[in-house]
Amino acid sequence: MKLLILTGMSGAGKHTAFKILEDFGYRCVDNLPVELLKSFVELNHENGDEEPVAVGIDVRGGASMDLLRQVLPELEADGMKFEILFLDAEDVVLVKRYKETRRTHPLSGATSIYTGIAEERERVQFLRDRADYIVDTSHLLTRELRAELQKIFIDQDDYRNLFVTVMSFGFKYGIPQDADLVFDVRFLPNPYYIAELRPLTGNDEAIQNFVMQNDDGPEFADKLEEMIRFLIPRYIDEGKNQLVICFGCTGGKHRSVTMANELYNRLKDSAAYGIRVEHRDIDKDAKRGK
């Protein structure tokens, strides 16, 4: 019997992860009382069930979460192998998700959502510390979460718990709050001053050719790639789960988009981490002009 314990922060996407795991052939049992975990495992073992099982355990279990500290070592002592998948997300993202769905955090009660999240982090930290896989869903779309879980449980790649977001933005709209590394690319040629190029974006070949037409663009991309490839393994060793690399230009439409795409294309084939590209402000000028 292959046992996966799915846990993490409320609002981080466990319900979606369960649906994905079911598609992968897992039998899923959500919110199983911790008191029944050993009996559940023993019953499946006695029945000789071979299909993989995913069990969801989180703070909805109340005080019995503390019992899990005792049960997990007992399972190991009995020779039962299991893995822990911990889904996490940034506090600001969790709050936004709760407000959008108008749901109540299980620990917030009459207090604020932030208070409930802080208490939950304390209560599940021991699970995060011993998790085999930590997936930060702050910037993941459902299809991207599926790709990450497929990498772990279907392709069985050497998953290193790091997801890289390469993001473009416009300085006039503010630096992304969750940025880890910020690069100002306003030193590159600006297509904005060419009338026929102005309506286009860094997703268009004409803009890419214009921005990369001199030595500065390719040389910057080469030096940056070398540095990022140097940093990523060290971030992984440090235990970092989410790396947000941001490129900024004035409006977030031309130069920053070009360089974000360039770095993404250079890094996207690595199996050591997940990666996505996001253009935060690419359409804002068009919307403001309407």
Range of the domain at 266: 163-289
Per-residue pLDDT of 107-153, as tens digits, reads 776 678 888 899 899 999 999 999 999 999 988 889 889 988 988 88
Q: Which of 87, 119, 153 is the last residue of a domain?
A: 153
**Model pLDDT, residue 79:** 84
**Same structural domain, 214 and 267:** yes
Q: Domain for residue 7, yes or no?
A: yes
Q: Domain for residue 158, yes or no?
A: no
As a whole-number percent, the residues of the chain with pLDDT over 70 amount to 94
Taking 60 as the threshold, does the pLDDT of residue 288 lie above it?
no
In what side-by-side order are the strands of the sheet with 3-8?
27-29, 53-56, 3-8, 82-88, 133-136
Per-residue pLDDT of 261-278, as tens digits, reads 999 999 988 767 888 999
**Model pLDDT, residue 241:** 80
Taking 70 as the threshold, does the pLDDT of residue 30 lie above it?
yes
Q: Could you give the number of structural domains in the chain?
A: 2
**Model pLDDT, residue 159:** 63
**Model pLDDT, residue 160:** 62
**Same structural domain, 282 and 187:** yes
C-alpha closest to that of 259 among 249, 274, 273? 249
CA distances from 196 to 191, 204, 244 (A): 9, 12, 32
Per-residue pLDDT of 180-233, as tens digits, reads 999 999 999 999 999 999 999 999 999 999 999 989 999 999 999 999 999 999
**Same structural domain, 172 and 48:** no
8 Å CB contact between 4 and 82: yes
Angle at 258 between CA 268 and CA 183, to 5 degrees: 85
Cβ within 8 Å of residue 269, ≥6 positions away: none
User: 3-class DSSP state for residue 135?
Assistant: strand
Burial of 8 (0-12, 13-18, 19+ CB in 10 A): buried
Q: Domain for residue 184, yes or no?
A: yes
**Same structural domain, 10 and 146:** yes
As a whole-number percent, the residues of the chain with pLDDT over 90 amount to 51
CATH number of the domain enclosing 98? 3.40.50.300
**Same structural domain, 145 and 220:** no
Instruction: Kindly state the average pLDDT of the residues 224-244.
Output: 90
CA distances from 194 to 191, 200, 216 (A): 5, 10, 19
**Model pLDDT, residue 157:** 62
**Same structural domain, 43 and 63:** yes
**Same structural domain, 148 and 8:** yes
**Same structural domain, 139 and 175:** no
**Same structural domain, 222 and 109:** no
Handedness of CA 173, 177, 178, 179 (dihedral sign): positive
Taking 80 as the threshold, does the pLDDT of residue 176 lie above it?
yes
**Least confident segment among 35-49, 217-231, 247-261:** 35-49
Taking 50 as the threshold, does the pLDDT of residue 74 lie above it?
yes
Distance between CA atoms of 195 and 258, rounded to whole angstroms? 18
Neighbouring-strand partners of residue 22: none
**Same structural domain, 258 and 172:** yes
**Model pLDDT, residue 287:** 55
Q: Domain for residue 269, yes or no?
A: yes
- Joined tokens for residue 270: 């690595």
- Joined tokens for residue 179: 């940025």
**Same structural domain, 40 and 134:** yes
Instruction: Kindly state the average pLDDT of the residues 72-78.
Output: 89
Note every long-range contact of 222-230, with CB atoms under 8 Å and residues 24 or more positions apart, other chains counting: 224/183, 224/263, 225/263, 225/266, 225/267, 228/263, 228/267, 229/267
